[in-house]
Amino acid sequence: MNSTVICIVCPVSCPCEVEWTKEGGVTKVENNQCKLAFEYVEGELFDPRRMLTTSVPVDGGNWPLVSVKSHVPIPKDQMLNAMKAIGDLRAKAPIKVGDVIMPDFIGSGADLVATRNVAVA
Ligand code: SF4
């Protein structure tokens, strides 16, 4: 098969022309400016993942919400399940950047971590 995949590893955003098969994987990548495209294209075709970023309500904090993210990219097709899994989640102040708000939140080994500090109100 032939596909065009935009590499988003850096802002250049190369429009990679890709030859691939389900059985044999990626056999050719063209129109890329560097070799980082190969790993990105392979992941995008066979195991697309994204960082999940959202916010969670905070009890007793000087901010009502804390921004959070998955500490590693999670499977793209798990995004909806991931948002359901944290739908009723609440965090408790104080919170520091990097604190694990919910460990292994979709059973894939990814933790939900805070990306800002929230002090006690
Ligand atoms: S192929 Fe290289 S230069 Fe092009 S977008 Fe990807 S990382 Fe950037």
What DSSP string runs through the chain?
Answer: -EEEEE--SSTT--EEEEEEETTTEEEEEES-SSTHHHHHHHHHHHS-EE--EEEEEEESBSSSEEEEEESS-EEGGGHHHHHHHTTT--EES-B-TT-EEETTTTSSSPPEEESS-B-B-
- Structure tokens given for 119: 């002090």
Average pLDDT, whole number, for the chain? 96
Tell me how far the alpha carbon of residue 67 lies from the centroid of ligand 1, in angstroms. Answer: 29
Q: What is the pTM of this model?
A: 0.82
Nearest Cα residue to atom 2 of ligand 1: 34
Nearest atom of ligand 1 to the alpha carbon of 12: 5
CA distances (Å), 12 to each of 6, 9, 31, 36, in order?
10, 8, 12, 12
Residue-wise pLDDT tens digits, 25-70 = 999 999 999 999 999 999 999 999 999 999 999 999 999 999 999 9
51-69 b/e with 16+ CB inside 10 Å = b? ebeebbebeebebeebebb
Write out residues with Cβ below 6 Å of ligand 1.
7, 9-10, 12-14, 32-34, 36-37
pLDDT exceeds cutoff 90 at 92: yes
Tell me how far the alpha carbon of residue 119 lies from the centroid of ligand 1, in angstroms. Answer: 40
